């Protein structure tokens, strides 16, 4: 699964180029992001603008990433599609990880 990366200041922005994060790609997805975390990036924004669908395995990946990331709010999300946002809301996982409407919002909040 393709994962685009770019820097915005000292914030790493990762954008999965896949319309779906499900059981078939979740392991790969996790591995790629863990690689970035292990390189020492402390502030990571996961831009999910391409992801239209996420199932429990995708959610499972985000959960383990929040635990792998160095501190709370080290990893945040932005640009969630409606279905993905609903998944996070229903499971109340939006209480655990910060979710922003746009990349700008995410970066602005991370800079504080």
Partner 1 sequence: MGAHPDVTIRLLEYMAAENDSEGRNSLLKELIQKYALAERKLAELNNNLMEKQRQLDEDLQAAAKIQAALLPQHQPLTSNAKIAWKFYPCDRIGGDIFNVVALGDDYIAIYMLDVSGHGVPAAMVTVSVSQFLQQNSALLTRKSANPLQIPAPPQQVLSAIDDEFPIERFNKFFTMVYMVLNIHTGQLIYSSAGHPHPILIRAEGQVEFLDKGGTIIGVGNSIPFEEGEKQLCPGDKLICFTDGIVEYMNQNGDYYGEERFFARLLMFRDRPVDDMLEETIRDVMEFGDQQKANDDISLLAIEFISSAP
Residues forming contacts to partner 1 in the complex (CB under 8 A) are 23, 56-57, 59-60, 63-64, 66-67, 90-93, 95-96
Shortest Å distance, C-beta 110 to partner 1? 20
Closer to partner 1 by Cβ: residue 4 or 89: 89
Rank residues 19 and 111 by Cβ distance to partner 1 and give the closer one: 19
CA-CA distance, 34 to 39, in Å (whole number)?
9
The residue (of 5 and 52) whose beta carbon lies closer to partner 1 is: 52
How far is 92 from 9, CA to CA, in rounded Å? 30
- Is residue 6 classed as helix, strand or coil in its secondary structure? strand
With tokens 């792998």, the residue in question is 68
């Amino acid at each position: 699964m393709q994962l685009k990366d770019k820097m915005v200041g000292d914030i790493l922005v990762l954008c999965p180029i896949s319309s779906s994060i499900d059981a078939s790609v979740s392991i790969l997805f996790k591995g790629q992001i863990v690689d970035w975390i292990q390189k020492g990036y402390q502030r990571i924004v996961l831009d999910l603008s391409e992801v239209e669908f996420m199932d429990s395995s995708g959610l499972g990946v985000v959960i383990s990433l929040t635990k792998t990331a160095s501190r709370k709010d080290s990893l945040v999300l932005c640009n969630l599609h409606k279905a993905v946002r609903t998944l996070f809301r229903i499971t109340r996982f939006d209480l655990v990880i910060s979710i922003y409407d746009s990349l700008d919002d995410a970066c602005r909040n991370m800079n504080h």
